[in-house]
Structure 1
Amino acid sequence: MSREYLKSAVTFGFFLIVISVTMAKLHGGYLADDNSPAPQPSVVSHGDGPLGISAHLVQDKIFFGGDGTVSLALTMSADVAAVSEDDGVSQHVDMVVVLDQSGSMSGQKIEYARQAILDLLSGLSSQDRFALIGYADRVWCYADLNYATDTNRLRLQNLIRQLAPGGNTNLGGGLQEGINTLLTADRIGNVEKVILISDGLANRGIVDPESLGNMASLAIEKEFAISTVGVGEDFNEQLMTAIADRGAGNYYYLANPQSFAAIFQQEFQHAKTVAARAMEISIPLPDGVSLLYASGYPVSVSGNRAVVHPGDLLAGQTRKLFLTLQFPTSSEITYRLQGLAIRYLHQGNPYTATFPTPFQIACVNNPDEVVASIVHEEWEQKVLQEDFNALREKVALELKKGKKQEALQQIDSYYQQQNLLNAEIGSAKVSVHLDEELNELRDIVEQTFTGSVQQVEMQQKSNAKSLQYEGYKERRAQK
């Protein structure tokens, strides 16, 4: 491979940084000088919280005159014992279900939804609380947030069996009522969750996606979570994903309404086993530096910091997220990044994890040095988790728009870039991935646009939603 060709690849930003964390207090800072960084050690911070947050700097050089992109791989884990009843502490749940009752929910959808809610109720303890909201043209509060006692359970069961569909989709009204129902109740320390269900497009009340996302973002401020469930092929998956992301919850795609019960049970069990909630990753942004991507999560910027809310971490769970920053490359200097922190709640108590050792990134004029600084295993995982699933989401959008050639071009461009660098790194896993998984992705694109006009229309919807959902889950390490 020619040095010029490799230089082109590096310029496009094939650069990684991985950091490591554990507990302490937030502090920040930034320095730049013209010295190359020393080899980066693993970093372990202080603290007595239940999370283990660790990794190391896997690449410490970017190319002079390149795009300056740097990825931070952040690994967070919680031991199974982080949530245990052995010490007499049990987590209880406040669950608000917001159900789409528009006309398109008729038939099996409403039948399975009713049964799933009944099954959920049967699993609640008398210390859990439950509320039920319905929406169509109007919004109905069927049950305020109350304890799941035998008396309340019986009343709710009779009510749920009578739920019927009809009308349009006032999704925004239902979401707002669900949030209000949770926040106007006494807060007793339970893990609080709203589950929003929809099978169609918002066409009544508030329909603007940005406004609906802003509504959901109240969950972060008030320290609860909003999860969303899209049913069938006619809802807006980008909107439902955005509401879940802005609401620090999870998004689910149900092609078949028979899966309602499994999703409700999964959300309930997740709420019972949360080790860290209201998680916030705070990233320092020195002058000229920006955070481009955060494993698909929304990024907000305030002053010289970027903030990401990655949802919850469950007991026994490990998640690795990739944060992609961009540094200036107009001078051969070394950047020192210090002050990245993670804040979260564990059983109602606040904790902060920080990085006491600065992470150093050198801008150099030799592409060989840049490539040599890559830790192969970390680059390999970034390709398979972050890059490929970002590609899936891009291809899904092109399928949704009916743009076959653009979808294939996205795949070809991805192949060329990753294959170019892998010729230097030599990852067998990436080689297999570029051969097998990309061929599967091409086959999906081809199949989407094969058949009658009606078949193609349905295949566009279903394949776009399936691809987007797989990319969403795996990019955010929610498998």
Structure 2
Amino acid sequence: MAIAKIHPSLTVLAARPAACLNGCQLDVLVELNTPAPLASAQRQPVAIAIVIDRSGSMAEHKLQAACAAAQQLVRQLSAHDRVAVISFDNAVETVVPLGPPSEDAIARIDALHPGGSTALVDGWHAGLEALRDGHGIEQHHKRLLLLTDGQANIGPRRGGDVAPLLGQAYEEGISTSCIGLGEDYDERLLSAMAEAGQGNLVHLTAPQQLEAVFTAELEGLQLVIGRHLQLRLQPGPEVELTQIHNPLEANAEGWIDLGELQAGSTPSLALGLNMAPRPCDGPAVVELLKVQARWRDADEQVVMVEALLRLPVLEQPAWDALPLEEAVVSAVLLQQAARRRQEAMQSIDCGDEHASRMVVQRALDSVRSFKGNSAVQREEQLLGELLDLISTNKLSLARKVMGSQAFMRARGRKLRDQEGRDDL
């Protein structure tokens, strides 16, 4: 059985198993549960373009680590996969033309050497063209993996200018993940590119973690079963959607983009509802929320699933006595912390280090108040590390780490700490 035949299911869980007759506020967790593939399942082949910054700032250990990571990725590919390697400084070079993995490709990567300036978008575009022009890869999952440590100083350098190009590439089936290395790259540009390209956004302080990140990118791409995953929320009568806790926004049609759908993953949204008081002689069960999820499968066909949240209605004393659902409380806390990261970034941009520190401290206090699962404990550790960075005036680094973590948390993906280690 191929991975593409896996059938996800949509669930909606409320923080309490009932609604209150007098009206109530309820947090809700929406999850798209995607089974892991069988060990014997065949997978679709992948085509990856690795685009590596070779500007002067990448000299020595950074470029060496990048080459080693790219070589390791090539060794992990099968004969059905395809890989290209592009390097850029002020000029762009095709180091390895798109083709099957080979010892020749590994040797070519080893010959990379540092150069001058940073034509970042030109490098990305060369990787795009390699995948666009590839023969026999119509059924491959395609990703462009961009690594840089510096500012784009040749060619386009504004996210608003390049995001439409990445969006068009994604419409053609080519996603883009961005890896920022060190403290000098433009995280705003990379964030805009990763968002439009529907890939991942990773910050690394330690280049030694590049091999783990490249491997994670490959493994994630191999598990893709759908693209353009979107969720839409439709509150019931007399119900208001008061908050999407994930730092994501719905488009004009109400759809929320979550990127690619992977086997074994559980994309989710945490949200808040407000139900108005109900008449005493009203229905004993009310419909609070309808949720739709849709994506494109391996054949580019639109798949859609729906779920409804229906709850019994209880009087106030009985409702107050109901226990809270830990999974919902935990999910809300984690997504609220992601939003606090964005607020702290805005404070840094305004030059208000004190406000940034206070925002992260409030998020940390909220997480500490919940004696919950390992994910919440890990979040406490990550927020503590961010607070240390801000308190020691490492604001540029703090902003990069927060941006990557907020981006990945919003989309239900693995977070990494400032050294690039993931949250497992």
Query: Do both proteins adopt the same fold according to a TM-score greater than 0.5, normalized to the shorter chain?
Result: yes
Bin for the TM-score computed over the shorter chain = 0.7 to 0.9
Is 2:90 aligned against 1:142? no
For 1:247-262, what aligned pairs fall within 5 Å after superposition?
247-262=197-212
1:106 aligned to 2:59?
Answer: yes
Q: Which residue of 1 aligns with 2:418?
A: none
Answer whether contact 2:29 2:328 (CA < 8 A) is retained. Answer: no
Structure 1 residue 320 corresponds to structure 2 residue 268: yes
2-structure distance, mates of 1:262, 1:400: 31
Q: CA deviation at 1:196?
A: 0.9
Distance 1:136 1:291, change over 3 A: farther
Q: Equivalents in 2 of 1:241, 1:460: separation in Å?
A: 17
Number of residues of Structure 1 aligned to a counterpart in Structure 2: 397
Secondary structure of the corresponding residue to residue 165 of structure 1:
coil
Tell me which moved more, 260-269 or 339-348.
Answer: 339-348
User: Hey, what does 1:242 align to over in structure 2?
Assistant: 192
Q: Return the alpha-carbon distance in structure 2 between the equivalents of residues 252 and 145 of structure 1.
A: 24
Give the SS at the match of 2:155: coil
Quickly say closer, same or farther: Cα 1:408–1:124, change in 2 above 3 A.
closer
Identity of aligned residues (%): 20
1:404/1:273 CA distance change after superposition, 3 Å: same
- What's the secondary structure of 2:144's corresponding residue? strand
Residue 16 of structure 1 corresponds to which residue in structure 2?
Answer: none
* Cα displacement (A) at 1:323: 4.8
* Contact 1:58–1:373 under 8 Å retained in 2: no
TM-score, length basis structure 2: 0.77
Q: Which whole-Å deviations, capped at 9, do the CAs of 1:334-368 have from their partners, x for residues lacking one?
A: 997776322224444635233264769x9xxx999
Q: Which stretches in structure 2 are left out of the alignment for 5+ residues? A: 415-424
| Within-5 A mapping of 1:144-163 | 144-148=97-101, 153-163=102-112
Q: 1 CA distance for matches of 2:151 and 2:22?
A: 46
Q: 1:378-397 maps to which residues of 2 (within 5 A)?
A: 378-397=327-346
Partner of 2:422: none
Shift of 1:96: 0.7
Distance 1:368 1:219 in 2: 55
Take 1:139 and 1:239, find their aligned partners in 2: how far apart are those partners?
A: 19
Which residue number corresponds to residue 421 of structure 2? Answer: none
1:177 aligns with 2:126: yes
* Shift, 1:117, TM fit: 1.3
Asked if 2 retains the 8 angstrom alpha-carbon contact of 1:98 and 1:197, the reply is: yes
Question: SS in structure 2 opposite 1:126?
Answer: coil
Residues 149-228 of structure 1: pairs in structure 2 closer than 5 A: 153-186=102-135, 187-228=137-178
Shift of 1:123: 1.9
Q: In structure 2, what residue type is equivalent to 1:188? A: E
Indicate how the Cα distance of structure 1 residues 179 and 285 shifts in structure 2: closer, same or farther if over 3 A, else same.
farther
Q: How does 1:4-153 map to 2 (within 5 A)?
A: 50-58=7-15, 72-81=28-37, 84-86=39-41, 89-148=42-101, 153=102
CA shift for structure 1 position 372: 8.0
The equivalent residue for 1:410 is 359
Q: CA RMSD in A?
A: 4.1
Distance 1:337 1:445 in 2: 38
Q: Work out whether residues 339 and 354 of structure 1, in 8 Å CA contact, stay in contact via their aligned partners in 2.
A: no
The answer as to 2:293 corresponding to 1:342 is yes
Q: Matches of 2:287 and 2:325 in 1, distance apart?
A: 23
> TM (normalized to structure 1)?
0.69
Distance 1:269 1:402, change over 3 A: same
Q: Distance in 2 between matches of 1:119 and 1:442?
A: 33
How far is the alpha carbon of 1:168 from its aligned partner?
1.8
Q: Residues 355, 181 of structure 1: CA spacing in aligned structure 2 closer, same or farther, 3 A cutoff?
A: same
Q: Counterpart amino acid of 1:255?
A: T
**Counterpart AA for 1:322:** A
Q: 1:134 to 1:357 in 2, by over 3 A?
A: same
- Structure 1 residues 410 and 356 mapped into 2: Cα distance closer, same or farther (>3 Å)? closer
